[in-house]
Amino acid sequence: MTNGNEYEKRTTAWCPGCGNFAILDSVKESLEAMNKKPREVLLIGGIGQASKLPQYLSANSLCTLHGRALPAATGAKIGNTSLTVVAFCGDGDCYGEGGNHFIHAIRRNIDITVLVHNNQVYGLTQGQASPSSDMGFTTKVQPQGVRSTPLSGPALAVALGCGFVARGFAGNKAQLISLIQEGIRHRGFSLIEVIQPCPSMNRHNTFGWYKERIRDLQSEWKHDSSNRTAAFERALLWGETIPVGIFYRSEEGRTFESRIPILNNGPLVKRPLRRREVTEKLIEAFI
């Protein structure tokens, strides 16, 4: 167990009652329980309330552009395969602006863990509907209600063959900690969607609303997480029943890093630098 002060939480700017607080604590406790030192971890976020999480833990961190956390995480993992890379995105950040990156990061199967904080709204920009907002959800921009079918990130991930797909709830830290640890241990791309209420911008999908609907895949349904067809069917469920737990897990696919021969000899960051003239010539070729 590492010293708890190593990941000491800094002052946060989240609203009181935000589900992000529980997610932050769950990430911190997961890394400590896995004996991960801060220097061994890289936390990456885009822009949004969820993406501020790397700023509130004392570890290597990088804040990127809105929807662009996954390309940065991919580059970091290729550059230093020994790093534990965890990316934090919002539902709009990942499924909206970053949707194309999300699809292709899964296709590549880069060995990173992605936590999508899903509050079904754009919280940072004052409450517009996000890709996961429920049909009929009203906002200042959608006063007559959302008319688009909500996007299911877990269902999309299962359909694309993602090797680890799960959903947690900010109101159940014990389960969320377990899911985070399982996702980090998985070799390949891991998606963990985390349901988290936004008390300021989404007064409909509250903690109480979720608790009435959440059903545990493993303890209540005895769901077989190796069954991809069943995983897809249950990942599509939303509304009166909201499944949480591990939808799908497969160890069959090779990671993106393992397909790159030059990485077989260890992390790039530990290689000696090539001669300056060779490096300058390479840079010039891309300018």
Domains and CATH numbers, the chain: 4-285 (3.40.50.970)
pLDDT at 105: 96
pLDDT at 262: 85
pLDDT at 1: 44
Q: What is the pLDDT along the chain (287 residues), one digit of tens a residue?
A: 444 568 776 778 888 888 889 999 999 999 999 999 999 999 999 887 778 888 899 899 999 888 899 999 999 999 999 999 999 998 888 898 888 999 999 999 999 999 999 987 776 667 677 787 777 778 777 788 778 888 899 999 999 999 999 999 999 999 999 999 999 999 999 999 999 987 776 777 788 888 999 999 999 999 999 999 999 999 999 999 999 999 999 987 899 999 988 888 888 887 776 677 777 887 888 88
pLDDT at 122: 74
pLDDT tens profile 179-207? 999 999 999 999 999 999 877 767 777 88
pLDDT at 100: 92
Distances (CA, A) of 159 to 82, 234, 235, 266: 29, 12, 10, 32
Verdict on whether the full-model pTM lies above 0.75: yes
Taking the CB of residue 152, how many other CB atoms lie within 10 A of it? 20
Torsion of CA 90, 91, 93, 95, to 10 degrees: 150
